[in-house]
């Protein structure tokens, strides 16, 4: 597990299990809450984050960027927390859980039980105490959301950025136009650093690059 401080209050935990396939979980340590963006492959994906904040007793807010297995299997290690997702994400976790568990079982890292988001939204959520904005941004999937830290200007675009530098365009779960609209929305936001589900830490210009490739 690689632990990388990307800004003052933003830490990126990167798991390379299996080798060559990175998976990022972002922690934002706000004034009021600690935010954990995605929960990885199970209890062992979450353990290093819990360890990192073990002396910090602020309440934790968990955010699931979309319903895919590699972003939600650690949810059950964060019981008693607010777990936020898009409304569709909650439905899709519930209907796809068994199939994802069977199909990708070899990647399970520790334990995982289905723990559904307990706070869902459709367009946007905002936490003014920490200036954290959570937005509906369909693209990679129809339930994809993104998180903007307005204090440190970091966008977590999750899997709306492809997995590697050589593959910046992700697989799409919606119409291409809808994905382009999401990219145009990103363009309007104020950020300089872009975190995603599997890629390295990028700069804002990656958005222009993807737009020019489409």
The contact set with Zn ion (CB under 5 A) reads: 68, 159
Chain residue whose CB lies nearest Zn ion: 68
DSSP output for 110-169: S-------SEEESSEEEETTTTEEEEE--SSSTT-EEEEETTTTEEE-GGGS-SBTTB-S
Nearer to Zn ion, 68 or 86 (CB): 68
Please, what is the minimum distance in Å from the beta carbon of residue 198 to Zn ion?
8
Nearer to Zn ion, 115 or 162 (CB): 162
Nearer to Zn ion, 9 or 68 (CB): 68
Please, what is the minimum distance in Å from the beta carbon of residue 66 to Zn ion?
6
Nearer to Zn ion, 68 or 90 (CB): 68
Please, what is the minimum distance in Å from the beta carbon of residue 21 to Zn ion?
12
Q: Is 213 exposed, middle or buried (0-12, 13-18, 19+ CB in 10 A)?
A: exposed
Give the H/E segment covering residue 24: strand 23-29
């Amino acid at each position: 597990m690689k632990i990388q401080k990307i800004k003052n209050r933003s830490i990126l935990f990167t798991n390379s299990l299996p080798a060559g396939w990175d998976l990022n979980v972002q922690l934002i340590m706000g004034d009021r809450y600690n935010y954990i963006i995605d929960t990885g492959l199970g209890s062992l994906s979450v353990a290093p984050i819990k360890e990192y904040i073990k002396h910090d007793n602020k309440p934790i807010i968990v955010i699931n960027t979309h319903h895919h297995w590699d972003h939600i299997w650690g949810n059950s290690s964060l019981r008693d927390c607010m777990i936020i997702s898009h409304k569709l994400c909650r439905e899709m976790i519930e209907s796809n859980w068994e199939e994802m568990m069977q199909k990708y079982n070899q990647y399970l890292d520790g334990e995982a039980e289905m723990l559904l988001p307990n706070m869902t939204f459709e367009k946007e959520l905002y936490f003014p105490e920490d200036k954290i904005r959570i937005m509906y941004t369909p693209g990679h999937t129809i339930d994809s959301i993104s998180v903007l830290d307005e204090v440190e200007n970091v966008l977590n675009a999750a899997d709306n950025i492809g997995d590697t530098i050589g593959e910046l365009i992700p697989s799409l779960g919606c119409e291409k136009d809808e994905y382009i609209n999401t990219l145009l929305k990103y363009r309007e936001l104020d950020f300089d650093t872009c975190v995603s589900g599997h890629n390295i830490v990028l700069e804002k210009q990656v958005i222009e690059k993807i737009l020019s490739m489409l």
